[in-house]
Chain A
Amino acid sequence: MAPKKNSAKRPQPSTPKPSAPARIVKVQSSDGHILQADVRALLLSSTLAATIKGYDDENKPLEKLEVNNVVGFTLKLVLEWCEKHKEDDPAIAQAEKDKKNIFIPSWDRHFLTKLPMGNLFDLITAAYHLDITGLINYGCKTVANSAKGKSTEEMRELFGIPEPWEQPSTSTATWDD
């Protein structure tokens, strides 16, 4: 059987490596929920990785990470995704960043498509704040897929865009300029 196209670029399914010692860190969401996560999973987020590195450099004990702009539910989803992808190569996500057509692995497809659109927006926004490239890619692609082939009306409904007569005038242009 011929190898599949772009198979080398597809993220390989993560396999747990029990030999590596896991370092558990508490993560606090904006609404006070405390979750626990593996540091390796948190390193997928550039923002959190920088914070962790800061603690490590100063040799301070890392007790709790505060994520102020993500609520508990969304943070849980983010951590779940990170936990699943902690073994992935970050270069793959970077390579897929500007691509239009990307392959979403089955686990991610199930994980993301079961979410309502609002939660998906939350998740992508959280991923954007935490700078998790892979999750942004898959999230955006999922949103794009769900919008595919829809009419204008359906798309307004899906994205919660108000009807044209409900929209405020955005014209700020003046002739004086």
Chain B
Amino acid sequence: MEEKSVIFSMNLEFLIYPNNPLTFFIQENFPMLEPYRKRIIKLARLVYFYIYSFIFLQNQETLNWRQVPAHVRRMVVQKLDKSTRATLRQCSKHDRDLVDSSPTIHLDTVEIFVTKNYVSILIPEIQSSSFIQMFSRLEPLVGLLRRTRIKNLKIESYDSNHVGELFNRISTLDFNLTILAKFISWNCRTETSRELRKFLSILDRKCLREIHVKDAFLMNLDLLMETSKWKLIKNMYNQDDVFLEVEKNFLLKKVLLKIYTLNEYNTLELAEKFEIGDENLFENCENDQVYTFQELSGTLDRVLEVLEFFCQIFKNRETNIKWLEIECSNNKEAVSKLNLILLEAQNSATNRIKIQNIFWNQGSFSELSCQLLLELVLMEHLESLNFFMESSEKINWLLEKTKEKKRFLYSTNFVDGRIRTLETYQLKCEELKWENVENMIENCQTWPINLLQKQRFPEKTYFQVYGNISENIMRDLKHLSSFDSENGSVLIFNTCDTTKQLRITLSDGETDKMLQAILVSK
């Protein structure tokens, strides 16, 4: 029985060599050959392999690399190491496409730059940079993204809609594409969050660690936040403003809060804007995080949430706010809401709050809210107080308010763009109590020169001149101690070399005449 089974197994060894005379020979003389069984099999294999090779290799053309199916070639490339892959990539154009399209196991950095017609892929590791046509040859990109583990994936685009278009095309090529990437940076400044969401949906959840977003129009971040990937977003910079639910953002280091509302002309208007940047407030954060908020609806219901948020910060006695920016329109509702917030904050805060810089962007500030704010602030810690306002009464009021504390003021800005005529300037200059502004080192103001002559300036003055200036005047100006630069019609020059300057912008049709007057008087 055992003997039979051995013969049978031997037969199987030879089955693949059909009509093998050795098989018959072995079968007949089995007991005698038993001790040499293994050797015989080996010999038979060797002999038959070479006979077959001899017969077939003479007649048959073997495949070369190019004739091997692309899928098989890709599988070979998949098993290559990085350097061999780079070498193969240099062999031919086909191989370049092949290597670019084959999934690698790990890549350090992949940069994808999307333009209207082309997608540029940069892989510094294997010195590969290729341009792929957007509409016809996206397969290599899909192949690259399919099974590659990418450490840093950067997507960059400066035009709108192209990234969305790219992902649409990618999804038509491969429905089940998941990108294995660890760190994502999304530098598409003009894409909406729809594209970002689309992109986030094809990322592998387990692999992802961080997302950095630089984007201008992230409108629907609320929706984005509902996705699980939201927590991974570390940095987000955007120019425009979006609304985020404040409770979710307590882990932020720096918060820029802008609230927009619709005014009676149905245009968007900035209602409130807060920025809280505090290094000690959120200790667990590693990076600076800037978030902006926008309320697009006509109502200001969200303000109440802001209020809660603001109060929570003020409740903390140790809170040290570096920069507080409040922007409020003339909208009565907005002003009253702001007052409500400040009042609530005052009630909830037991001590005055350390605020270093205040930026008050309110169109025409209400004295009440300003007072509320000033009472809230510990003036010793106030370094700068920047106000944008119109009426000189209000400026004077503020100067009076801060008179005793003015030595703490490091810089104060008054910006007024409304006054156009000379008469109002004159009036304003006379109204303003300049003696209170000794510590003011920066003043962005638009003055005609003849008013400047009347004015009692601080010793050191910085002039900024806009307008067409004749050569004679230029010559005179160049004699001044420090001449800064000349950019077209804009001329900036200094009358002093120190840092304590009063910047004055001259803007008028008769710049020449006025400058002449100033220079003569000097």
Contact = CB atoms under 8 A, between A and B. Distances in A.
A22 B8 contact: yes
A132 B71 CA distance: 14
A167 B94 CA distance: 9
Interface in A27-50: 34-38
B53 A125 contact: no
Contacts of B147: 98
Interface in B86-115: 87-88, 90-95, 97, 105
Contacts of B65: 121, 159-161
Given A143-B76, A170-B94, A150 B66 contact: no
Interface stretch (A4-12, A51-59, A60-68, A72-80): A72-80
Contacts of A148: 80-81, 84
Interface string A76-87: 100110010000
A175 B90 CA distance: 25
A19 B64 CA distance: 43
B16 A37 contact: yes
B251 interface: no
A91 interface: no
B62 A122 contact: yes
A140 B87 contact: no
Nearest to A162: B92
Interface string B1-33: 000011011001101111000000000000000
Contacts of B6: 18
B67 interface: yes
A76 B51 CA distance: 13
A170 to B, nearest CB: 5
A34 to B, nearest CB: 7
Contact of A161 (B8, B56, B66, B97): B66
B136 interface: yes
A109 interface: no
Using C-beta atoms within 8 Å of the partner chain, give the interface range for chain A: 35 or more
B473 interface: no
Given A100-B79, A150-B84, A161 B92 contact: yes
B56 A151 contact: no
Contacts of B16: 35-37, 76, 79-80, 83
A173 B117 CA distance: 11
A3 interface: no
B427 interface: no
A143 B76 CA distance: 7
A111 to B, nearest CB: 10
Contacts of A71: 56, 60
B5 A118 contact: no
A29 B318 CA distance: 85
A122 B65 CA distance: 10
B52 interface: yes
B228 to A, nearest CB: 26
A103 B350 CA distance: 70
A159 B64 contact: yes
Contact of A144 (B71, B84, B94): B84
A89 B251 CA distance: 51
A155 B72 contact: no
Contacts of B15: 24, 35-38, 83
Contact of A152 (B75, B79, B87): B87
Contact of A147 (B71, B88, B97, B135): B88
Contacts of A177: 117, 133-136
Given A79-B16, A152-B91, A125 B56 contact: no
A71 to B, nearest CB: 6
Query: Which of B5, B13, B60, B69: most chain A Cβ within 10 A?
Result: B60
B12 A118 contact: no
A18 to B, nearest CB: 4
Given A71-B56, A149-B84, A125 B72 contact: yes
A24 B18 CA distance: 12
A122 B117 CA distance: 40
B62 A136 contact: no
A119 B79 CA distance: 19
A155 B66 CA distance: 13
B60 A34 contact: no
A72 B105 CA distance: 36
B68 A125 contact: yes
A167 B75 contact: no
Contacts of A73: 52-53, 55-57, 60
Contact of A36 (B18, B62, B63, B81): B18
B16 to A, nearest CB: 5
A79 to B, nearest CB: 5
B69 to A, nearest CB: 6
A144 B79 contact: yes
B64 A38 contact: no
B60 to A, nearest CB: 6
Contacts of A141: 79
Contacts of A72: 56
Query: Which of B5, B13, B52, B68: most chain A Cβ within 10 A?
Result: B68
Contacts of A83: 12-13, 15-16
Given A38-B15, A119-B62, A161-B92, A128 B71 contact: yes
Query: Which of A83, A100, A102: most chain B Cβ within 10 A?
Result: A100
26 contacts: A18-B5, A18-B6, A38-B15, A71-B60, A83-B16, A98-B78, A102-B79, A121-B63, A121-B65, A122-B62, A122-B63, A124-B68, A125-B68, A125-B69, A125-B72, A143-B79, A144-B76, A152-B87, A155-B87, A159-B91, A164-B92, A167-B92, A167-B93, A167-B94, A170-B93, A177-B135
Interface of B: 5-6, 8-9, 12-13, 15-18, 52-53, 55-57, 60, 62-69, 71-72, 75-76, 78-81, 83-84, 87-88, 90-95, 97, 105, 117, 133-137, 147
Leading 4 A-B pairs by shortest Cβ distance: A118-B62, A160-B64, A159-B65, A73-B56
Given A125-B63, A128-B72, 20 more contacts: A22-B12, A36-B15, A73-B60, A83-B12, A98-B78, A121-B67, A136-B72, A140-B72, A140-B79, A141-B79, A147-B88, A148-B81, A149-B84, A151-B87, A156-B91, A156-B92, A159-B65, A161-B95, A173-B136, A177-B135
